[in-house]
Structure 1
Amino acid sequence: MNYLKMVIFTSVLSLAGGVSSVFAQSPFNEMPRGEYVVDLSHASVVWKVSHLGLSSYVARFADFEAAIDYDTSDITNSTVTAKINPMSIQTAYPNAKEKDFDNILATDESWFNAGEFASIDFVSTSIEMTGDKTAVMIGELTFLGVSKPVSLDVEFNGAMLRQPFSGKPTMGFSATTTIQRTNWGMSKYAPNIGDEVEVMIEGEFVKTDG
C-alpha cells in the first residue's frame, strides 16, 4: 500500500468512527509465540554523543536487522538478537558527501573500523519485567571485537494481532541505553567528544510465517 492510499484509507476509517476504535490493540500476552523480525520501514537506531560539552551530536544507523524469539507464556524467556552494519552511518553532516564524512567515521580504525569489524552485534541474556509494559533487558554487545554486557530500558508500545496494513501480528517497542565507548576501545578525542553514548531504538516487529 503506497503512502497516498494509506492516507486515504486512514482518513476513511477516521470518518467511519475513529482510528483508535478500528486499529485495536492486543495485550502482549495474547500475541502468538514464535519469531518476530524488525520492519526496517518502521524502525530506527539513533545515537548521540556530547561535542565539547556544547551540544549533542546525533547520528543513526540505517541498515540493521533484529529478531525476537517471543515466549507468550513468559516474556522473560524471550530472546532478542540484532546486527548493525557500521557502514550505514548517517550523520547529516554538512557536505557529508563531498567530505565523505560518514565513510570516514565508518572505516577509520580509530572510529568504527568497519573494514575489520563488519557488524555490531547484540544478544540478550535476560529480561526482567519492571511494570506491565516496561522491562530491563541485559545483553552482550560485541563492538570493535570486544564483548561486554549492556542494560537497556525497554518499553512495550503496543501490539496488534492483525496490523491493518500488513495483515500480520506486529509488536512495537522502544528501548534506550547509555554506553561508555572507551570500554569497547573507541577512545579517540575522549572526553572532549563524550565517552558516554546515548542510544535510542524504535522498532516494529512482525511475526514470521514459520
Structure 2
Amino acid sequence: MIRFPRALAFALPLVVVATAVPSVSQLPSTPPGTPDKTRVTAGTYAVDATHSMIAWRVNHLGFNDYFGLFGQLGGSMTFDPANVAATKLTATIPVSKVVTVDAGLTAHLTKPGADGAKPDFFGANAADATFVSTKVVPGADGVSAMVEGNLTLNGVTKPATFTAKFIGAGTNFFNQAATIGFHGESTIRRSEFGLGFFAPLVADEVNLEITIDFEKK
C-alpha cells in the first residue's frame, strides 16, 4: 500500500476537484443554457438531481401560506423537439426527505403514527412518490406544454396534470452534457392521497412549483 504524508493525503481530493472544475479564466462569459429551441437534440435524458426540485405551498389557517421542498428528484425523459407530443416522462420524488424552514414542522410531516396509528402526513420512511406521463399536449406558443399522467403518492394513484415551460438548452461546461431545463406548475388535493389531516383548516389544495433539468445520456 502506498502511504502519502498526512498533509498530502488531505490535499489530494482538493487537487482532483481543482483539475475537474474549470478555472475562472476558463469559464464562458455567458450562461451555456439559452431559450433557443434549436439547441435541443432528440434522445433520452436523465434528471439532474442536484438542480431539480419541487416547492409546495399550502395555506395555513386562512392566515398565510407556508412552503416546503422536495429535492433530489429522479427520473428520465425521452424527448424529440420535432415531435413533442411523443414525449415520455417519469419522475421520482423522495417525499421522506421533505424539508421546511422549521424543524418542528418537518418532524411532524415525517412523524410516524402513535401506537401504530396512521400518521398525520407522510410518516417515517415514506415511499417515493412517482409520476408517469400518459399524454403531452404542446402549447400554441411553441415553448409550453400540458403534461398529463398518473401520480402515485402515499400509496394512492390519481391522474395529475402540470404545465411545463421550456427555459433553456445547451451544453453544461462542467460535464459536457447536453442539458435542457423546464419550469412547471400543478395543483393537487392532498386529501385525495390520504393526506387530508387538518383540512380544510390547513388547505386541502397544494400548489406545486417545479424546476427541473435533464442531461442527455
TM-score by length of 1: 0.82
Q: Which amino acid aligns with 2:54?
A: V
Runs of 5+ consecutive residues of structure 1 not aligned to the other structure: none
CA distance in 2, matches of 1:124, 1:86: 19
CA distance in 2, matches of 1:64, 1:112: 17
Contact kept? 2:52, 2:71, Cα under 8 Å: no
Displacement over 3 Å in runs of 4+: 23-30
Residues 28-177 of structure 1 mapped to structure 2, 5 A cutoff: 28=37, 31-93=40-102, 96=103, 99=104, 101-108=105-112, 109-115=119-125, 117-130=126-139, 131-160=141-170, 162-177=171-186
CA distance in 2, matches of 1:120, 1:206: 21
Instruction: Name the CA shift for 1:13/1:147 in 2 (closer, same or farther; >3 Å).
Output: closer
Q: Which amino acid aligns with 2:155?
A: G
CA distance in 2, matches of 1:57, 1:64: 21
CA distance in 2, matches of 1:80, 1:24: 21
Shift of 1:29: 5.6
Contact kept? 2:75, 2:91, Cα under 8 Å: yes
Contact kept? 2:91, 2:131, Cα under 8 Å: yes
Instruction: Name the CA shift for 1:8/1:59 in 2 (closer, same or farther; >3 Å).
Output: same
Q: Which among 24, 30, 38 is matched to residue 8 of structure 1?
A: 24
Contact kept? 2:180, 2:213, Cα under 8 Å: yes
Corresponding residue SS for 2:169: strand
Instruction: Name the CA shift for 1:13/1:118 in 2 (closer, same or farther; >3 Å).
Output: closer
Alignment RMSD:
2.3
Instruction: Name the CA shift for 1:72/1:106 in 2 (closer, same or farther; >3 Å).
Output: same
Q: Which amino acid aligns with 1:112?
A: F
Contact kept? 2:39, 2:169, Cα under 8 Å: no
The structure with the greater share of residues assigned to strand is 1
Runs of 5+ consecutive residues of structure 2 not aligned to the other structure: 1-16, 113-118
TM-score by length of 2: 0.79
Q: Which amino acid aligns with 2:137?
A: E
